[in-house]
Structure 1
Amino acid sequence: MRKRDQTVPKAYMYMYLYNKTMIIFLQERSSTSQRDIYGGHYDEGRIYMQSTSDPVWAKLAQRAIPRYSEISKESGIEFAVDVGCLSVGDRGGNYITAVKDVVEKDHINAQVLSGADVCSQFPFLSISNRDEAVFESHFAGYISPRRLVKAQIAIAKKNGCQHIQDVVRSVTRVVVNTNTDADSVMEVTTDYGRRILARKVLVATGAFTAFRNLLGVEVYPDTKLFPLAVTKLEISEEDAQKIKTMPSVLYFGKGGDDWNKDYPVDPRAPVVFYMLPPIRYSDGVKVLSYHGDSCVVDVAPSNRPYIDRIHSQLGIAIAGNGYAAKSSDEIGRLAVELLMNGKWDIDVPKDLFCAKLKSDCGQSKL
């Protein structure tokens, strides 16, 4: 299994606002690499849209997505493709009803379409008449996680941030004696033997947080890791042109009558997936084929990200819950403001993002 978290909050673009900031971040894993920890952004497509069935996640997305153009302009790197997004589900069902509620309350520019409307507007899609859709034509589509990370690191480095390519082994608070006094600082050690002292440390390591002592000895985030299946279908240039107007699609329902449902899932469970339009990958594979892949997401009991301070010198921004790639810029910004200034400047209660920790025996530490 490819151990890939769905997101790592992009805090480093905001950390450069503070003096002598360092980011420790990994190069992409090669086919011969033996390391067991690497990043969560090594692919070319993640969905983004401003609406969702959860109003909290929607608020984070609405804060992050409008900054995409600013990040692209400052870095010179394009990473978002504004093809629109269809959220589809059973008409009258909990999912699509919740999405429509968010659209109305947050004044999102979107259309509500019947299944027949979807098939008329996008004839290459097969959507049941039992379904209903919310279509966002702007501020929605897909992003390249690779290029988003590249853009944000470029901005951080341009503003004086030091980029270290290494794996962190431990983060601890230590006492350093000076000529006049003793001072508490954070010590970061790495697999390559580096020892870095810092006033404050923000941990944004996703599914890999429990793989090392990053929050204290034998203390881990209260999250669970879940695998997700990924299917990549290669198509011809001719077919790609035929469906070039295809939006991103997020589906939560019973599926269409003509859909192939021969897969090992509980028939009582809903069909849930998201699908992206044709994306050109850098390997340029020409052979038409199916590819299977997998990833892992870290899920908190609250189904919300942990954006919190473990103590005054250690912050945390993890638990993407499979939703956070599109919102990672805002999650990172909130985490930096909280750690560095104690500020919380979003109209969502802070206690929704409080971290829960557990020791090696599974007991809660908070």
Structure 2
Amino acid sequence: MARNADVVVVGAGMFGSAAAKYLSRSGADTVIVGPPEPDRPAAARLSEFGAYHDESRIARCLGWDRFWGTVDSRSTARYRDIEAESGVGFFQECGALALIAASLREHTDTMLRTSEDDGVTVDRMTAADLRQEFPGLGLPPMNGGVEGLLERKSAGHLNPRHLVRAQLALAQAAGARLLRATVTGIHRDGPAGPWHVRTQTATTGATVTVRADKLLIAAGSLVNHNNALPRPYRLDLQTFTEPNLLYEVADRHLPALQDLPTVVTIDPEDSGDANLSAYLLPPLRYPDGRWYLRIGPAMQPAVRELRTTDEIHTWYARQRITPQQSALLSRMTKVLLPGLEPVSVREACCVVDKTPTRYPYLGHLDKDKSLTVAVGGNGHGARGSDEIGRLAATLVLGDRWDLPLSQETFAPAHEPGAAAGRPDYLRPPYGLC
């Protein structure tokens, strides 16, 4: 069976669903290819894994640098419109707090100037201010002290699964076709011919090939492992474990904890597992009906690289973090919430990807610009995914690039040789998760 389209978007996750919406609204005949969300990610095939299969991601407008501040603030400004147009709710406004070492004051000043330029209001708080407003929240004992940056409005957390569902609904309303299938191969009829995306459908296992003049690859962290790139392409994108602990919260403790904003801590000390960088999300009701508070790490050594397909599959399938990772997250939980008395503690496994630039790859892989990629969230991609998807669609359509950074900054890099030493993105400060 064969189908034709103007554009095929490979990947129906955070970036792909947003890009498909903008492509379809532009009038391009668009097919989105991606497997259905698995009922249980741990039991899914490798091709079905997605980094958005969870209940929450931090949402805010304050960015670590100009790029992330811009895409995050632009995306966040559209959340309510996306909810209203799709009928799918995904954003909860509870505020976002960054606890930053005072020694990073110069960088903090720069972030605040950028936020002011973007019209984002941020309260700068001393340690005394923080203790008064959040008496149940512990402050990490960073060298030189800590200060807080609090966004009270247009910040909190989003449900990434619901956001993807909303974006896909809007893409389909604009005319896009969603093919729930796994990509098994991609090839082209000569240097100037159409692209052929061969797939296996999720329901019947039938083979469906989609032909298109243009191809957008938005296949996420597993782009080098799941047949999403035509040969011989591979990208310089590394995948790492993302360990989480989920603390079940009793109903009687919910009122105090639900008033917390999302929290990120930024420690510039290169002290290995003693580093105090982490993120914390307040309690949310999960599909099992229970309330869980979630904590995760920054890029400490405990966040190890996954180099092979087998390693990625095993990490996902077992849903068990390492003792080192558990100890690190348990310690940070005691620092931030010293009075927490959980009913139970669960482990959860996801992945995070990193590019050498710490930015997404948004660009073309071939000379005629018919093959484009939008991958590399670098642990920040969910909240800015609507704008990143819009930028990807802009490239596919050949429209004007309107980001205040050169498009060359996001040019995809091919897989390099083995690098010596620890990459920069594994060295603190790690930025805002």
TM-score by structure 1 length? 0.86
2:101 aligns with one of 47, 69, 90: 90
Instruction: Write out per-residue CA displacement over residues 221-260 of structure 1, whole angstroms, 9 at most, x where no aligned residue.
Output: 11111112111111012211122321111111389xxxxx
Partner of 1:271, secondary structure, is coil
Specify the code of the residue in structure 2 equivalent to 1:315.
Answer: T
By how many angstroms is 1:333 displaced?
0.6
Conserved in 2, the CA contact under 8 Å of 1:306 and 1:319? Answer: yes
Instruction: Write out per-residue CA displacement over residues 111-143 of structure 1, whole angstroms, 9 at most, x where no aligned residue.
Output: 100112112112221125821011111111100
Equivalent positions of 1:255-270 (< 5 A) are 266=272, 270=275
CA distance in structure 1 between the aligned counterparts of 2:46 and 2:81, rounded to whole angstroms: 34
1:194 aligns with one of 205, 208, 228: 208
2:395 aligns with one of 338, 348, 351: 338
**Closer, same or farther in 2 for the Cα pair 1:150/1:136, shift >3 Å?**
same
Equivalent positions of 1:1-366 (< 5 A) are 8-9=15-16, 10-17=18-25, 18-31=27-40, 33-38=43-48, 39-93=50-104, 96-127=108-139, 130-175=145-190, 184-191=193-200, 192=205, 193-253=207-267, 266=272, 270-285=275-290, 288-311=343-366, 312-358=369-415
Partner of 1:37, secondary structure, is helix
Stretch of structure 1 that moved more, 291-300 or 328-337: 291-300
More helix by share: 2
CA distance in structure 2 between the aligned counterparts of 1:329 and 1:163, rounded to whole angstroms: 18
CA distance in structure 1 between the aligned counterparts of 2:268 and 2:209, rounded to whole angstroms: 53
Identity fraction in percent: 28
Specify the code of the residue in structure 2 equivalent to 1:266.
Answer: G
**Closer, same or farther in 2 for the Cα pair 1:141/1:266, shift >3 Å?**
same
Stretch of structure 1 that moved more, 140-149 or 36-45: 36-45
CA distance in structure 2 between the aligned counterparts of 1:92 and 1:205, rounded to whole angstroms: 38
Specify the code of the residue in structure 1 equivalent to 2:361.
Answer: Y
Conserved in 2, the CA contact under 8 Å of 1:87 and 1:96? Answer: no
Conserved in 2, the CA contact under 8 Å of 1:90 and 1:96? Answer: no
Specify the code of the residue in structure 2 equivalent to 1:227.
Answer: T
**Closer, same or farther in 2 for the Cα pair 1:272/1:137, shift >3 Å?**
same
Specify the code of the residue in structure 1 equivalent to 2:198.
Answer: T
By how many angstroms is 1:212 displaced?
3.6
By how many angstroms is 1:344 displaced?
0.8
The structure showing larger relative contact order (alpha-carbon pairs under 8 Å, at least 6 residues apart) is 1
Instruction: Write out per-residue CA displacement over residues 159-178 of structure 1, whole angstroms, 9 at most, x where no aligned residue.
Output: 22111111112222215xxx
Stretch of structure 1 that moved more, 78-87 or 236-245: 236-245
Specify the code of the residue in structure 2 equivalent to 1:25.
Answer: G
TM-score by structure 2 length? 0.73
Listed as ranges, the gaps of 5+ residues in structure 2 are 1-12, 292-341, 420-433
**Closer, same or farther in 2 for the Cα pair 1:299/1:58, shift >3 Å?**
same
Partner of 2:346, secondary structure, is strand
By how many angstroms is 1:343 displaced?
2.5
By how many angstroms is 1:184 displaced?
1.3
Specify the code of the residue in structure 1 equivalent to 2:290.
Answer: V
CA distance in structure 2 between the aligned counterparts of 1:59 and 1:294, rounded to whole angstroms: 29
CA distance in structure 2 between the aligned counterparts of 1:97 and 1:231, rounded to whole angstroms: 32
Conserved in 2, the CA contact under 8 Å of 1:61 and 1:327? Answer: yes
CA distance in structure 1 between the aligned counterparts of 2:82 and 2:170, rounded to whole angstroms: 8
CA distance in structure 1 between the aligned counterparts of 2:111 and 2:44, rounded to whole angstroms: 43
Partner of 2:284, secondary structure, is coil
Partner of 1:219, secondary structure, is coil
By how many angstroms is 1:295 displaced?
1.6
By how many angstroms is 1:190 displaced?
1.4
Tell me the matched-pair count: 341
